Chains A and B, each alone.
Chain A
């Protein structure tokens, strides 16, 4: 039987997890619409279906902890505290974007939130997370580096080099694999000799575990527990969160390589309605409260779109700015 939610977190925190997941879904679906309208261009990788991972994990971390991710990172940034309107403006390529319109969807960054970037070279963020963890320890700061990555990234040399390094130097890095079973169109068992990703740390003497990435509470508990261990031991740890993306790899991908049955099976495990139901069943929120949360998220996203639309383009001189200090 599932744990009772109130045994895990106070009501307002539980409701916040739900709010964050709903906002995330609304934001991503709105991005899809804006892409179709031609307001968002370039690559656009959406997170719908995976919300429980970013939301649960971020809740299990401290605000001082660094977060790094790949290119499917709008939600990680927003849940960490980035303003949806400035993220949307970034996606529109506007000067008011979180990175002045120079990064776009794949390169969100806000050091004031310790959100240390979205990286679009698969696996590029691994050593950078290790370096940030070193800096934290070297400077005597009580923080870890949480590094999100996909199942496709674990066959990069960087993954193995970074695991080895983090353990060798005993650095506080929490590796969080979002196993959504696909790297673009290639399913895990077609790219990994050992598809149980969490087992791949044994060559580096790094403890690891697998968690249900469709359940925000399971993710929260696993990350919180692991983060405490990482902090106390000053050693790396790896969590494999098993999840699913409801959309194609990017907006350009119709996801023909997945069966309808498989998709439907995962859709039935959608982390939003299942968590909403638990909130209602356990008497933490009423259905009308949940409806109000959805309405509020829709307003926030609509405001973000309006803000992005009305924001100015970057000045031409910006092309030469920010190359050197």
Chain B
């Protein structure tokens, strides 16, 4: 085990996979010479050279399209969208092309490609740079969606993503890059897709979360323990494939659930999770499924009011308390 940051864990995964497989290439805006706007690609140009680590023009839709073509032609592109907000300029290639090509061409090709995108709110970057778009990707069949919460998962999931033969959208949280954690040293450390992790065991309530929300849920669980409330925290790790079995089993045990999403509540993924829980745990639920979401507003700049828009540790704790006070 080594103690490292989420950023360094991602960087290590990229380096290891570049070393292991010569068909892996790294592209993105400012990823080579500038080493990435979040420095995740630090040192890659120096080690792997110009043909494998390339800066691209600021042409998001084309970044994805060129990666699709390259993947079809036998290369494994790992592209970085500078932030997930800019994925909206690439939705045509992501949704109309990347997720359709295998299907509409009758399974005659596959696209081994990874689209890394930092995102999430909380840095006072205002409305155009603070979005959480995971529901957008999860909604569309044909791409996997990974949402690592810890440095170990960041490394293990990214390595799995690069080796997988399907397109993967890999959503990194900007506020987690400096977070630290123990990361296994094994160069073959792979975290499988579709396997949620139980970050903390508990008996009173299940909190289902992902990415930074899982970290906040864990903090809330520590806080609530002092009040005698025992929370089980499930970190989804991938939104597609979605491991329903793990959180369903947990809710069947605890009888209560709080789902946490950083994205907007309106038609957000938390509604889908809540439905799955109602469908599969109806007989065992002791209270309605509770839901903590980002506020349905464009993100304001001022830090005083930005805070209101993003789920906080306190909001999650309050939702848990509310759930425990309710009864069916």
Hey, which bits of chain A sit against chain B, CB under 8 A? 66, 97-103, 107, 109-111, 116-117, 119, 121, 124, 126-136, 138-139, 145, 157-158, 161-162, 164-165, 168-169, 321-325
Contacts and interface: CB of A to CB of B under 8 A. Distances in A.
Contacts of B67: 131
Contact of A131 (B57, B72, B164): B72
B105 interface: yes
A165 to B, nearest CB: 6
A158 B107 CA distance: 26
Interface in B60-106: 61-75, 77, 92-93, 96-97, 101-106
A97 B107 CA distance: 12
Contacts of B142: 323-324
A135 B93 contact: no
Given A135-B73, A323-B141, A127 B110 contact: no
Contacts of B72: 111, 116, 128, 131-132, 135
A152 to B, nearest CB: 16
21 contacts: A99-B106, A99-B108, A100-B106, A102-B106, A103-B104, A107-B105, A110-B108, A116-B72, A121-B92, A128-B72, A129-B69, A131-B67, A131-B70, A133-B69, A134-B75, A139-B74, A157-B59, A158-B92, A161-B62, A165-B62, A323-B141
B62 A162 contact: yes
A130 B102 contact: no
A12 to B, nearest CB: 31
Contact of B65 (A97, A162, A323): A162
Contacts of A323: 102-103, 141-142
A116 B69 CA distance: 9
Given A128-B68, A145-B69, A165-B59, A135 B104 contact: no
A322 B65 contact: no
Contacts, number: 140
B96 A121 contact: yes
Contacts of A110: 108
A199 to B, nearest CB: 22
B25 interface: yes
Top 4 closest A-B pairs, CB basis?
Answer: A131-B69, A127-B65, A135-B73, A99-B106
Contacts of B179: none
> B interface, how many residues as a size bin?
35 or more
Contacts of B93: 124, 127
Nearest to A169: B54
Contacts of A107: 104-105
Contact of A98 (B97, B106, B144): B106
Given A128-B65, A130-B65, A162-B62, A102 B70 contact: no
B123 interface: no
B96 A103 contact: no
Nearest to A108: B105
Contacts of B65: 124, 126-128, 130-131, 158, 162
A164 B59 contact: yes
B110 to A, nearest CB: 5
Contacts of B54: 169
A109 B72 CA distance: 12
Contacts of A136: 73
Contacts of B92: 121, 124, 158
Given A139-B73, A161-B62, A322-B103, 20 more contacts: A102-B103, A102-B105, A103-B106, A107-B104, A109-B106, A111-B72, A116-B69, A128-B69, A130-B69, A131-B66, A131-B70, A131-B71, A135-B70, A135-B75, A138-B70, A139-B74, A158-B92, A165-B62, A323-B141, A325-B166
Contacts of A161: 57, 59, 61-62
